[in-house]
């Protein structure tokens, strides 16, 4: 079982690891708590890298391949570190019908970044999501946790430039 | 709390509620909260203090009122005055004019009375009227009295009989008879038994279940507890999408509160019945809504469906008998127990009783959350409740049932909403999404969009879904990119019938619907793309360089 003093782990002991350890303990290291534990890990670290997944695998006595399989199966888990600012485009039906794909394409061109990736300087990541449930205000984009409803490409590009400090 | 105390508590809460002359309900569910409802709530709270009316006017944080397009929405009782697009500045003005001077501000009122006229709100009866974070609000409107009635006056078999007689069918989409499902699990002698409330509303464009959880979480818990009593279960799980943070928060709080007053836990309402509920978070997998996949996900595995039988009623969570119900189904249960099955079976159409909640979105004038009796026609939803198509455009199709639903044309608008009629027309009830499309929406593009979604969300276990849908997406992209051939259409149809017939689970079986219905009702549009190399709707995704870059493999 992995503990804070585990010599084989490359994980630095800090607040984030403490909350992960606490989650493992709360779930009594049960194998079927894997999803819950991964949720906590992502909440603390912001993403799941190889070290984190290996750590969880060891703690729950699961093959690392199983943990990797679960983490990659679910869209919610992020395996790469996101950029300093994040813009997420809703590609749910209502937003798509109202042109969110067009806005997204224009943002990709403007900031030279592809969906699911970050800009070279690491300042901006562009993600997509399937429905945030604000369909009545479609199309929507989330810029650093603020929802921009009834979006247009102009309004979104302007807002991104604002938060990025361009 | 004991049953007799519950009654007293409800009376006290009602008295407290009526001691206020006015009540300002501020919708703070996700849609409105995204657009500043919490600031509006704070502004109202400050304003009633500023004007010294806090003794006669209660400001309440509530769930969804339904008019999501004009959020933040605020409703003032008495008189149900509905203010639209309220800002913190307006809040002050509303308090001074409406509350202090008794003059509603006409210019800011929601003017479209038709939106509510054809609706019948029974599941959403208290949505927007009670504070979801205050269990006392739920008790005041009769909450948990159905559970008390079931536990103290009915045998488990009588509860099941009442649900069966009501004709309630599963609101998750497939429409299986709820009473029958309960009976299967109840009959099993294996223990323990589990109950799973399905709130994995993964369809893009659908938010009916989320809104229910955010507006009236205790109705779900009460339904679960009654179901658990009927089938003999002591442990329940609510499986909810992690993309619904407010819903998760609200339900978590509701479970905690219910435990403090013994609506959940050991000795529920002072009887020998015990029942506990835990939340399980999804992680963004559409397929996890399928009943065997949801079990895998709760057990901490990849959400991959498995063949049935054995059905979850026989072998579900950890191999034990498990009842899986959609949350909307469960929210109907307390009403049936309280008002009787005869009351329920009178609502709706002769073939299908009750109501159904839908999120109405797309090219409609009044997007929002609606609840209509079964048997309401699609036309009534699109034109009477939805107010038609905006910007003077022409109605083209209505998409019912999410990404695996069907696109129905104008001549199907007289179709009554019930499971069988929709399935016959090629759509499905699904979890409750209605998206209106106008003449600017390209049907090939729409079919491609949904197929792309299903390819993305396919778990990859069975070939017809994994390979068949990918092939279909390639053919559609080809047609959109100008490389389509007439024989593609036949190929597409064959492929989709195959996927429908032999896929392992509901995802693959219904993923064909958008393609099959658009092929059936809008074949002309496909042919225009193929023969004339033209997109009649003028979609920017057809015949451009980026269109060619779409996945044509």
From the list B204, B297, B368, the residue facing A35 with the nearest CB is B297
Give yes or no for a cis peptide into B539 (omega within 30° of 0): no
**Residue A146: per-residue pLDDT:** 83
* Helix extents (H) in B304-418: 327-339, 341-346, 378-379
What gap in Å lies between CA B36 and CA B41, rounded to an integer? 9
| Domain B142-344: homologous superfamily in CATH | NADH-ubiquinone oxidoreductase 51kDa subunit (3.40.50.11540)
Task: Kindly list the residues from chain B whose CB atom is less than 8 angstroms away from the CB atom of residue A91.
Answer: 204
Asked if residue A162 lies in contact with residue A109, where contact means CB atoms within 8 angstroms, the answer is: no
B446 to chain A: which residues are within 8 Å by CB? 97
The whole-number pLDDT of residue B548 equals 45
Q: Which residues of B touch A23 (CB under 8 A)?
A: none
Please state the separation of Cα B493 from the chain's center in Å: 30
Distances (CA, A) of B516 to B274, B396, B410, B433, B500: 48, 17, 17, 18, 10
Q: Is B360 helix (H, G, I), strand (E, B) or coil?
A: strand
What's the pLDDT score for residue B169?
96
Please compute the mean of the pLDDT values over residues B535-546 and round it to a whole number. 84
Say if CB B425 and CB B406 are below 8 A apart.
yes
Q: Is the pLDDT of residue B478 over 90?
A: yes
User: For residue B119, is pLDDT > 60?
Assistant: yes
Q: What are phi and psi of B48, to 5 degrees?
A: -65, -30
Answer whether the bond into residue A139 is a cis peptide, omega within 30°. yes
Rounded (10°) CA dihedral B385, B378, B457, B285:
50
Residue range B530-540, pLDDT digits in tens:
999 999 999 98
CATH architecture label of B354-438: Roll (3.10)
Of A77, A103, A75, whose CA–CA distance to A89 is shortest? A103
CB distance from B284 to chain A under 8 Å? yes
- The answer to whether B433 contacts chain A (CB < 8 Å) is yes
| DSSP-assigned letters across all residues of B122-178 | STTTTTTTS-TT-HHHHHHTTTTHHHHHHHHH--HHHHHHHHHHHT-B-TTTT--BH
Is some CB atom of chain B closer than 8 A to the CB atom of A101?
yes
Out of B69, B281, B361, closest to residue A35 by CB: B281
Domain ranges for chain B, please list them. Answer: 15-114, 142-344, 354-438, 443-548
Cα distances from B67 to residues B112, B127, B146, B241, in angstroms, run: 10, 12, 29, 23
pLDDT at A9: 63
CA distance A88 to chain B (A): 13
CA dihedral (A21, A23, A24, A29) in degrees, to 10, reads 160
Q: Say if CB B505 and CB B293 are below 8 A apart.
A: yes
CA distance to A149, A158, A160, B26, B432, per residue, from A155 (Å): 10, 5, 9, 28, 31
End-to-end CA distance of chain B: 62
Q: Which of B393, B400, B325 has its CA nearest to residue B365?
A: B393
Average pLDDT over residues B297-325: 96
Predicted pLDDT at A134: 79
Whether residues A39 and B281 touch (CB distance < 8 A) is answered with yes
C-alpha B542 chain-centroid distance = 32
Q: CB under 8 Å to B130, separation ≥6 — which residues? A: B60, B62, B63, B137, B138, B140, B141, B215, B216
Kindly report the nearest CA distance between residue B69 and chain A, in angstroms.
Answer: 5
pLDDT, position B68: 87
Q: How far apart are CA B358 and CA B524, in angstroms?
A: 30
pLDDT at site B545: 54
Tell me the DSSP string of B189-208. Answer: --S--EEEEEE---STT--H
What is the predicted pLDDT for the residue at A158?
A: 95
Mean pLDDT by 10 residues, chain A (166 residues): 51 92 96 96 94 96 97 93 92 88 95 93 91 82 87 95 88
| Three-class DSSP category at B460 | coil
Pick among B300, B370, B397, B435 to test the A interface (most A CBs inside 10 A): B300
pLDDT > 90 in chain B, percent: 88
Q: What's chain A's Rg over C-alpha atoms? A: 19
Inform me whether the C-beta atom of residue B531 falls under 8 Å from chain A C-beta atoms: no
B13 half-sphere exposure, CB direction, 13 A CA radius? 18
DSSP state string for B473-528: HHHHHHHHHT---THHHHHHHHHHHHHHHH-SSHHHHHHTHHHHHHHHH-HHHHHH
Please tell me if residue A69 touches chain B, with a CB cutoff of 8 Å. yes
Q: In what order do the strands lie in the sheet containing B81-83?
A: B57-62, B22-27, B74-77, B81-83
Contact A70 B403 (CB under 8 A): no
Q: Residues 6 or more apart from B143 whose CB is under 8 A from it? A: B10, B135, B218, B219, B222, B334
pLDDT of amino acid A8: 53
The ipTM estimated for the assembled molecules is: 0.89
- Predicted local distance difference test score (pLDDT) of residue A147: 84
B363 close to A (CB below 8 A): yes
CATH 3.90.1150.10 applies to domain A85-164: no
Q: For residue B368, which residues of chain A lie inside 8 Å, CB to CB?
A: 136
Closest residue, chain A, to B304 (C-alpha): A73
Q: Which of B34, B433, B449 has its CB closest to that of A134? A: B34
Q: What percent of chain A has pLDDT over 70?
A: 95
Looking at every residue in chain B, the average pLDDT score rounds to: 94
Q: Least CA distance to A78: which residue of chain B?
A: B283
B68 in contact with A, Cβ within 8 Å:
yes
Average pLDDT over residues B158-172: 96
What single-letter DSSP state applies at residue B73? P
Distances (CA, A) of B245 to A83, B138, B241, B252, B304: 22, 21, 8, 11, 24
Residue of A136, A138, A151 for testing the chain B interface, max B β-carbons within 10 Å: A136
* Nearest CB to B205 within list A38, A101, A135: A135
Please, which residues 170-189 of chain B have a Cβ atom closer than 8 Å to chain A?
A: none
- Bridge partner list, B169: B177
Query: Is A73's CB within 8 Å of B459's CB?
Result: yes
State the smallest CA–CA distance between residue B29 and chain A in angstroms. Answer: 10
Judged by average pLDDT, the poorest of A94-98, B96-100, B332-336, B527-531 is A94-98
Query: How far is Cα B140 from Cα B17, in angstroms, rounded to an integer?
Result: 8
* CA distance linking residue B146 with residue B3, whole number of Å: 10
Q: Determine, for residues B283 and A136 on separate chains, whether the beta-carbon distance falls below 8 Å.
A: no
- CA closest to A132 among chain B residues: B243
Which of B38, B20, B39, B36 is CA-nearest to residue B99? B20
For B205, which of A93, A105, A147 is closest by C-beta distance? A93
Residues of B in contact with A31 (CB under 8 A): 300
Domain ranges of chain A: 15-73, 85-164
Round to whole Å and give the CA distance between B518 and B447: 7
User: pLDDT of B424-456, one tens digit each?
Assistant: 999 999 878 999 999 999 999 999 999 999 999
Please tell me the distance from the alpha carbon of residue A53 to that of residue A72, in angstroms, as a whole number: 11
Mutate to test the interface with B, among A78, A89, A94, A116 (most CBs of B within 10 A): A94
**Interchain contact, B361 vs A130, CB within 8 Å:** no
Picking from A36, A132, A135, the nearest residue to B281 by CB comes out as A36
Would you state the pLDDT for residue B403?
85
Q: Which residues of chain A does B399 touch, with a Cβ-Cβ cutoff of 8 Å?
A: 93
Task: Tell me the shortest Cα–Cα distance from B466 to chain A, in angstroms.
Answer: 14
- Tell me the CA distances in angstroms from B388 to A30, A61, B168, B392, one per residue in order: 53, 57, 31, 9
- Rounded to 10°, the helix A50-60/A15-26 angle is 30
Asked if residues B353 and B335 have their Cβ atoms less than 8 Å apart, the reply is: no
Say how far apart CA B108 and CA B28 lie, in whole Å.
19
Q: Give the pairing of strands A117-118 and A124-129.
A: antiparallel
CATH topology of domain B15-114: Glutaredoxin (3.40.30)
Give B188-200 pLDDT, tens digit per residue.
999 999 999 999 9
Q: How far apart are CA A104 and CA A139, in angstroms?
A: 11
Candidates A97, A105, A127, A145, partner chain B, best to mutate (most B CBs within 10 A): A97
Q: Is the minimum CB–CB distance between B86 and chain A shorter than 8 Å?
A: no
Question: At the top level of CATH, which class does the domain B443-548 belong to?
Answer: mainly alpha
Tokens of B5: 């105390």
DSSP H stretches of helix in B1-78: 3-18, 30-34, 37-50
Residues within 8 A of A (CB atoms), B 397-426 only: 399, 402-403
- Rounded to the nearest angstrom, the minimum Cα separation between B54 and chain A is 32
């Amino acid at each position: 079982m992995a503990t804070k003093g585990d010599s084989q782990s490359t994980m630095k002991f800090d607040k984030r690891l403490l909350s992960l350890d606490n989650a493992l303990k709360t779930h009594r290291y049960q194998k079927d708590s894997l999803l819950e534990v991964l949720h906590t890990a992502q909440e603390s670290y912001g993403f799941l890298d190889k070290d984190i997944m290996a750590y969880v695998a060891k703690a729950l006595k699961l093959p690392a391949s199983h943990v990797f399989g679960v983490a990659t199966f679910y869209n919610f888990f992020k395996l790469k570190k996101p950029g300093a600012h994040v813009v997420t485009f809703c590609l749910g039906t209502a937003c798509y019908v109202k042109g969110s794909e067009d806005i997204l394409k224009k943002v990709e061109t403007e900031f030279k970044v592809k969906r699911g990736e970050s800009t070279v300087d690491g300042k901006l990541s562009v993600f997509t999501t399937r429905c945030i449930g604000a369909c009545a205000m479609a199309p929507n984009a989330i810029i650093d946790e603020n929802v921009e409803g009834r979006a247009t490409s102009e309004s979104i590009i302007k807002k991104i430039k604002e938060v990025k400090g361009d | 709390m004991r049953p007799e105390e519950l009654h007293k508590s409800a009376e006290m809460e009602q008295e407290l509620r009526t001691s206020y002359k006015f009540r300002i309900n501020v919708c703070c569910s996700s849609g409105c909260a995204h657009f500043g409802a919490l600031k509006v709530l704070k502004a109202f709270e400050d304003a009633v203090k500023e004007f010294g009316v806090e003794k006669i006017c209660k400001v309440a944080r509530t769930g969804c009122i339904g008019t999501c397009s004009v959020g933040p929405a605020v409703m003032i009782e008495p008189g149900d005055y509905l203010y639209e697009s309220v800002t913190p500045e307006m809040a002050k003005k509303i308090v001074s004019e409406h509350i202090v001077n008794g003059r509603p501000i006409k210019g800011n009122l929601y003017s479209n009375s038709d939106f509510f006229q054809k609706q019948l709100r029974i599941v959403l009866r208290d949505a927007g009227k009670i504070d979801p974070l205050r269990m006392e609000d739920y008790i005041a409107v009769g909450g948990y009295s159905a559970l008390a009635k079931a536990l103290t006056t009915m045998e488990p078999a009588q509860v099941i009989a009442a649900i069966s007689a009501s004709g309630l069918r599963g609101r998750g989409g497939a429409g299986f008879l709820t009473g029958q499902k309960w009976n299967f699990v109840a009959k099993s002698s294996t223990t323990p038994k589990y109950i799973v409330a399905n709130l994995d509303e993964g369809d893009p464009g659908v938010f009916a279940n989320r809104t229910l959880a955010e507006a009236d979480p205790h109705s779900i818990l009460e339904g679960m507890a009654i179901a658990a009593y009927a089938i003999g279960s002591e442990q329940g799980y609510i499986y909810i999408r992690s993309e619904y943070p407010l819903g998760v928060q609200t339900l978590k709080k509701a479970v905690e509160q219910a435990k403090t007053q013994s609506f959940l836990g050991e000795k529920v309402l002072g009887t020998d019945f015990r029942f506990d509920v835990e939340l399980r978070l999804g992680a963004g997998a559409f397929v996890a809504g399928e009943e065997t996949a949801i079990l895998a996900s709760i057990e901490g595995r990849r959400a991959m469906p498995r063949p049935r039988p054995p059905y979850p009623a026989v072998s579900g969570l950890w191999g034990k008998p498990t009842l899986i119900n959609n949350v909307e189904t469960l929210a109907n249960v307390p009403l049936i127990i309280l008002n009787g099955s005869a009351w329920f079976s009178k609502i709706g159409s002769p073939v299908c009783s009750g109501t159904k909640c839908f999120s109405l979105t797309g090219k409609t004038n009044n997007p929002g959350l609606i609840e209509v009796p079964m048997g309401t026609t699609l036309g009534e939803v699109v034109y009477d409740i939805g107010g038609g198509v905006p910007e003077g455009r022409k109605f083209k199709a209505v998409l019912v049932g999410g990404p695996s639903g069907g696109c129905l044309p104008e001549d199907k608008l007289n179709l009554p909403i019930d499971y069988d009629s929709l399935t016959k027309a090629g759509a499905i009830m699904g979890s409750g999404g209605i998206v209106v499309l106008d003449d600017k929406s390209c049907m090939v593009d729409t079919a491609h969009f949904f197929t792309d979604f299903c390819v993305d969300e396919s778990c990859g276990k069975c070939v017809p879904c994994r390979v068949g849908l990918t092939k279909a997406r390639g053919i559609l992209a080809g047609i959109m990119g100008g490389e389509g051939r007439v024989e593609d259409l036949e190929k597409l149809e064959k492929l989709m019938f195959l996927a429908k017939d032999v896929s392992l689970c509901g995802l693959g079986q219904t993923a064909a619907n958008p393609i099959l219905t658009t092929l059936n009702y809008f074949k002309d549009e496909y042919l225009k793309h193929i023969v004339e190399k033209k997109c009649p709707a003028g979609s920017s995704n057809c015949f451009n360089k980026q269109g060619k870059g779409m996945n044509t493999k």
